[in-house]
Structure 1
Amino acid sequence: MTHVAPATTAHTWRPPAPVAPRGTLVVLPGRGEHSLVYERFGRRISADGYVVHALDTTPDHDDADLLAAVTGVLGAAPAAPVVLVGSDTGALQALNIAARTGVDVPLAGLVLAGTALKTEGDALDWESELTARTSCPTHRQKLSEDKEFGRGRLTDPVPVHLLPAGPLPSVPALVLHGAADPLTPLGEARALARRLPHVDFAVVRDGVHDVLNDASHRTTAAAVVQWLERLRADDGLRPILTVEPLDQPRP
């Protein structure tokens, strides 16, 4: 297994002063990705008051190294609640860390985005990979110009040890998945969500694999913030705001 580099390799986005942090997120990227792929997500979530750390991890890192990296980047007193955010294989790693974490990481929840559940897939050319990843023109351009991005890695085999086999962690989870994800069918993501004891399952209309960086990234980020606010306010994740239809004719 590859050893995780020191946590100083992470990128961090903090709330603007004088906003006090409302919680802490640690992002685990997926195949081919690195921490700065989540710069837009980090900036947006931090603007709402949350500290966001994104790690430069890969699917080959083992659970112990990942846990050490997460512990290192959090430091001694992270703002609560602490939430792991994983995309693609990072979502599987987040699940595995949550299953073994204890007092070293005061983990309060998980956000699992575009979870990778298939162990292998057909190789894709670059245009096909971009189409599978995102329909956002800005993010497509960012990836195309990114010399650090691992092209062709999206269909790398998912390490078997990452696939969820036993009981899943009991911490609250938000599962985000694109309705048109070409890598992990929606039904498979729904089946995973049903195995989680405390879960909200959110489907992105027309969304493809990288839902945090897809065309609906603003809506997805807003859903994450709303879920975080519920997690802060109530362990039962009761809704803070509900939209109620009015039984009256429209003018």
Structure 2
Amino acid sequence: MSSSQPVHSWDEPEGIAPRGTLVLLPGRGEHGGVYERFGRRIAADGYRVRALGDASLDPAAVADAAAKLLRDETLPSPRVLVGADTGASYAAELAARNTPGLDALILAGLPAGSHSAGTDTGTGTGTGTGTGTTVADWESELEQRTACPTHRGRLTADAAFRRGALEEAPAQEPPALDRISLPVLGLHGADDSISPLEEARRVYSALPGAELVSLAGTRHDVLNDVTHRTAAAAVVLFLERLRLSPQLPPIAIAEDIA
């Protein structure tokens, strides 16, 4: 794998048998390290996590790196692609191509509709961020991304994070989910202004077998917002069901005791 595509890795605790592998494709402006909190939490439950770079910068390289990881027999199955923002679009495209080694798909904050390039916060010259983005622009971007103070601080201090990238239009149209035959879990913020939930529902409706979970009080960075624990729990529940069968049999069942 080329050095231009570094892989951020989180493994299961020592002495715990691995239960599967997640290959994560970040979104616009992000890199794999942005998902450290998510990776550590999922790894604590026995799943290996491998996070790549922003596919919008070099789609072919990221797709090739993801395909190599999915074919890697040293990584435990099931092997699941996780995509965030535009990474979700690229992950869905890989699934539609029947990429070998892929068992399921998790799409977080999938871009949908005309709002997916964000609102105009400006990217001209301005004060103090070193990227051509003004302080006011950055605050606006943070507001759209996440309400989690920890994650906001993490992004603000991250020199490798590409500010203003959320203004870039997705490089491709929303994926044709009807070409995907794998189990699919969608996670979407109920308060996502970049990709509104109603428009996401319309995209997911093309695949009746897909499961779409909305998270209350959550913005675009659904894996890194204030409900990140609930998002991770939803992912683990999906993975545990997937281990039983691609038909995703229920495990936690709400009983009617009325």
Q: Equivalent residue for 1:126?
A: 138
Q: Equivalent residue for 1:155?
A: 167
Change in 2 beyond 3 A, CA 1:228/1:142? same
2:109 matched to 1:109? no
> Take 1:98 and 1:171, find their aligned partners in 2: how far apart are those partners?
8
Change in 2 beyond 3 A, CA 1:48/1:165? closer
How far the C-alpha of 1:5 sits from its partner, in A, is 4.2
How far the C-alpha of 1:244 sits from its partner, in A, is 1.9
Q: Equivalent residue for 1:92?
A: 89
How far the C-alpha of 1:93 sits from its partner, in A, is 0.3
Q: Residue 42 of structure 2 contacts residue 49 of structure 2 at CA under 8 Å; is this kept in 1?
A: yes
Letter in 2 for 1:199: A
Structure 2 residue corresponding to 1:68, chosen from 52, 55, 64: 64
Q: Equivalent residue for 2:233?
A: 222
> Take 2:4 and 2:47, find their aligned partners in 1: how far apart are those partners?
19
- SS in structure 1 at match of 2:168: coil
Using the aligned pairs only, state the percent identity: 47
Change in 2 beyond 3 A, CA 1:144/1:90? same
RMSD of Structure 2 on Structure 1 (CA): 1.8
Structure 1 residue corresponding to 2:187, chosen from 166, 176, 198: 176
Change in 2 beyond 3 A, CA 1:67/1:215? same
Structure 1 residue corresponding to 2:33, chosen from 31, 36, 39: 36
> Take 2:238 and 2:4, find their aligned partners in 1: how far apart are those partners?
27
How far the C-alpha of 1:121 sits from its partner, in A, is 3.5
> Take 1:206 and 1:8, find their aligned partners in 2: how far apart are those partners?
33
- SS in structure 2 at match of 1:37: helix
Q: Residue 67 of structure 1 contacts residue 101 of structure 1 at CA under 8 Å; is this kept in 2?
A: no
How far the C-alpha of 1:171 sits from its partner, in A, is 0.4
2:196 matched to 1:201? no
Q: Residue 33 of structure 1 contacts residue 149 of structure 1 at CA under 8 Å; is this kept in 2?
A: yes
Change in 2 beyond 3 A, CA 1:151/1:67? closer
2:11 matched to 1:20? no
Q: Deviations over 1:108-138 (max 9, x none)?
A: 1110000112463433211111111111110
Q: Equivalent residue for 1:56?
A: 53
Change in 2 beyond 3 A, CA 1:83/1:138? same
Q: Equivalent residue for 1:139?
A: 151
TM-score normalised by length of structure 2: 0.87
List runs of 5+ in structure 2 lacking aligned partners.
122-136
- SS in structure 1 at match of 2:166: coil
How far the C-alpha of 1:192 sits from its partner, in A, is 1.4
Q: Equivalent residue for 2:6?
A: 9
> Take 1:144 and 1:31, find their aligned partners in 2: how far apart are those partners?
15
State how many pairs are aligned.
240
Q: Equivalent residue for 2:202?
A: 191
Q: Residue 80 of structure 2 contacts residue 104 of structure 2 at CA under 8 Å; is this kept in 1?
A: yes
> Take 1:35 and 1:237, find their aligned partners in 2: how far apart are those partners?
28
> Take 1:48 and 1:7, find their aligned partners in 2: how far apart are those partners?
30
